[in-house]
Structure 1
Amino acid sequence: MNRTRQLTLTALFAALTAVLSQISFPIPFTPIVFTMGVMAVYLTAALLPKWNALLAQLVYLLLGAVGLPVFSGFNGGVGAILGPTGGYLIAYPVMAFLGAWMRELLGKTPLPRLPQYLIALFLTMIPCYLLGSLWYMQVGQVDWLTSLTATALPFIPMDALKVVVSSLLAMPVSIAVKKSGLLSEKV
């Protein structure tokens, strides 16, 4: 894939994350906001090579860090990243890289494409909840169980559904994007 195509796709997935992050709403019993931004991270991991996936999410974070309103609720600034729920934002590049890397590894196996996506994307939930909960625990000065109960456990069913939907969407999208010449056959 040439450099222009790589940069274009990287920018598109950073933009997709910014757009989907605005589909959000508070959940009364938790400090974490439900957002579709995580689904954009799953799609990034499913559709981009690992280094491009990492870069797309780093660009998203950088845009938010400099104050552009790309985080949920049209928030931006370093304060959003350093706040109690910032660990979930910090997890985005890790999730994208690990998910894409795992998908690339699974692509070398005889597994059909859908299970490859599902396994890779479900595994990205681990760094998401780990980094997010640990960050909340530190910044919020709460114990591990309180952090997990408030910031992770309520979201597992919704995030699992996002993984399934992202995996199902990635199948036809990857075929269409490959036919357009934007992605190599390896993805």
Structure 2
Amino acid sequence: MKQKSMTTYQLALTGVMTAVICILGPMTLMIPISPVLISLANLAICLSIVILGMKLGTLSCILYLLIGLAGLPVFSGFSGGIGKLAGPTGGYLVGYLFLALIGGVFVERFSGKGLERRAVEGLGLVLGTAVLYAFGTVWLAYMAGMNFAEALAVGVLPFIPGDLVKIFLTLLLGPEIRTRLLQAGYLNGVPAAKAEPDLGGYTR
């Protein structure tokens, strides 16, 4: 029963975070110098990773992509469908998976506490975002007939400050939410009244 309860909590939280990504993902801002829209999807994915960990965070990302590919308007600019993936910005969608996996490894494999843990998680999110950038830039360059430097200039450089702010917000909010869920027993499947919560290295 304990394992079943744990699985139910995890599935529910994964569904909630998938919904959060689907809600924030379409919210975008266009900038004149780039065909790439500023999106909140990567903020939601970073939060999902830090809150749920690598496996469930990556699962929520995969579910989001599948929902979008099925045609629901959850991608940037309220778009969806396989055509979005095949377009010039489709590489950034695939790059979300690298962000989830790489960031998730740093979240799950490091057992430090406090600011030290947040610094390592931040490093993981930065590295995951860098791989996302690389994959998206190569795809954009190929699809739009640009060289790599041109694609980098329009598809990455204008977005770096905003993405750093998103990572900062993730490190500010995500660990606190994860700690609360662990204390309540929703992530480890153990009722808070019956066991010492494993806070995964987080401290108040």
Instruction: State the one-letter code of the partner of 1:114.
Output: R
- Deviation per CA, 1:103-135, whole angstroms, max 9, x where unpaired? 212225896332132222122111110111011
1:104 aligned onto 2:139: no
Please say if residues 182 and 199 of structure 2, whose CA atoms lie closer than 8 Å, have aligned partners that are also in contact: no
2:10, 2:130 → 1: CA distance? 27
Once superposed, which parts of structure 1, at least 4 consecutive aligned residues long, lie more than 4 Å away?
108-111
Measured after TM superposition, the shift of residue 42 of structure 1 is 0.9
Identity level (%)? 32
Cα RMSD, aligned residues only:
1.8
* Normalised TM-score (structure 2): 0.85
In the TM superposition, what are the counterparts of 1:74-113 in structure 2 within 5 Å? Answer: 74-107=78-111, 112-113=116-117
Q: Is the 8 Å Cα contact of residues 63 and 70 (structure 1) preserved in structure 2? A: yes
1:134 corresponds to which of 132, 138, 163: 138
**Stretches of structure 1 lacking an aligned partner (at least 5 in a row):** none
CA distance in 2, matches of 1:55, 1:146: 33
Higher helix proportion: 1
1:27 aligned partner: 31
How many residues align? The count is: 187
Counterpart AA for 2:53: P
Is residue 53–residue 93 contact of structure 1 (8 Å, CA) maintained in 2?
A: no
Match of 1:175 among 163, 172, 179: 179
Cα deviation, 1:21-58, whole Å, max 9, x if unaligned, reads 13211111100101111101111121122121111111
Deviates more, 1:158-167 or 1:90-99: 90-99
Which segment is superposed worse, 150-159 or 94-103? 94-103
Q: Which residue is equivalent to 1:43? A: 47
Q: Which deviations, in whole Å up to 9, do the C-alpha atoms of 1:54-81 show, x marking residues without a partner?
A: 1111100000001011112211101111
